[in-house]
Amino acid sequence: MADSSRLLLWPALHIIFHVIKGALILITIFPFAQEATKKRHIQAWSKQLLSIFGLKLKAINTEYLPKSGGYLIAANHISWIDIASIQSFLPCRFVAKSEVAGWPVFGWMARQTGTLFIRRDNKRHGKEIAKQLEDLLSKEPICIFPEGTSTAGDQVLPFKTNLFESAAQTQVQTFPMAIRYRNANQEYSDATAFIGDMTLIDSITKMLRAKAITVELIFAPSPATDLDRKDLALYCETQVRSMIETRS
């Protein structure tokens, strides 16, 4: 047990140093940087974080995505590391529950990188966020996790429809994205799942003990842009569920 703990010491220290590095970038560079420069830093930092955890990234069906402009990505949600995984492939803005803003360090970092926080029990605030989304979707990709919570990754919960309203109103393309984590045998892995009463430290420790995990980001085509929010949510939910349940 002691040997195992010692083996985790260096990667744990590496994570701490990497978070400090990220904070320094946000403090010293971001206030003066152009948007493209910010995205390059976010992508590089996220790739390095995946490397520390030994996570390999595989993006599938990326030809569906536009080369530029705004669009919506609707994904299932498994772990806090989902965000770094997505940012490693595609720097974009996220919508997260307001509780995330209060997380030590990571909440502050999320705010500095443009995450929008929504208070789920406040309809008025939800409408304000929807308006912001409409403005942003004309310019840049936005990623949402419409399940409203995280799962172990072996199932997909019903997609809530409220965050699809902005895409329906602006008629931008909406792309379903399935997030899957697999082990060295290419089998389903729950090593990254951040669920239940698990703390962030518990999650980090579990991930550091895991071996050869690959995160897959699998895209499906956008449906017609004239769907209402309910049909749009249902389409994305059905596509993501199909991709999650396919183990090939």
Q: How many helices (H) and strands (E) does the chain have?
A: 8, 7
Query: Over the stretch 124-153, which tens digit does the pLDDT of each residue have?
Result: 766 777 788 888 998 999 999 999 899 999
**Predicted structure pTM score:** 0.91
Specify the pLDDT at position 11: 84
Residue range(s) defining the domain that contains residue 129 = 2-245
Report the amino acid identity of residue 48: Q
- State the pLDDT confidence band at 1, using cuts at 50, 70 and 90: very low
Count of domains forming the chain: 1
For residue 230, give both structure tokens. Answer: 């309910």
For residue 10, give both structure tokens. Answer: 């260096």
Query: Over the stretch 35-58, which tens digit does the pLDDT of each residue have?
Result: 999 999 999 999 999 999 999 999
Instruction: Tell me the chain's radius of gyration from C-alpha atoms.
Output: 18
Residues forming beta bridges with residue 60, ordered by sequence position: 218
Q: What's 118's domain CATH number?
A: 3.40.1130
Report the amino acid identity of residue 52: I
| Torsion sign (Cα): 183, 17, 94, 51 | negative
Where is pLDDT greater, at 75 or 135? 75
Mean pLDDT within 165-180: 94
Instruction: Flag whether pLDDT at 70 surpasses 60.
Output: yes
Sort residue 102 into left (φ over 0), alpha (ψ -120 to 50) or beta: alpha
Specify the pLDDT at position 132: 84
Q: How far apart are CA 100 and CA 150, in angstroms?
A: 13
On whether the CB atoms of residues 215 and 178 are closer than 8 A, the answer is no
Mean pLDDT within 3-29: 85
Backbone dihedral angles phi then psi of residue 236, each to the nearest 5 degrees: -65, -45
Helix, strand, coil distribution of the chain in percent, nearest 5: 50, 15, 35
For residue 116, give both structure tokens. Answer: 């929008």
If one counts every other C-beta atom within 10 angstroms of the C-beta of residue 126, the result is 16
On whether the CB atoms of residues 69 and 227 are closer than 8 A, the answer is no
Q: Could you tell me how far CA 48 lies from the centroid of its own chain? A: 16
Strands 174-182 and 213-219: antiparallel
Angle, CA 56 vertex, CA 53 and CA 58 arms, to 5°: 150
Specify the pLDDT at position 248: 43
Specify the pLDDT at position 234: 97
Specify the pLDDT at position 247: 56
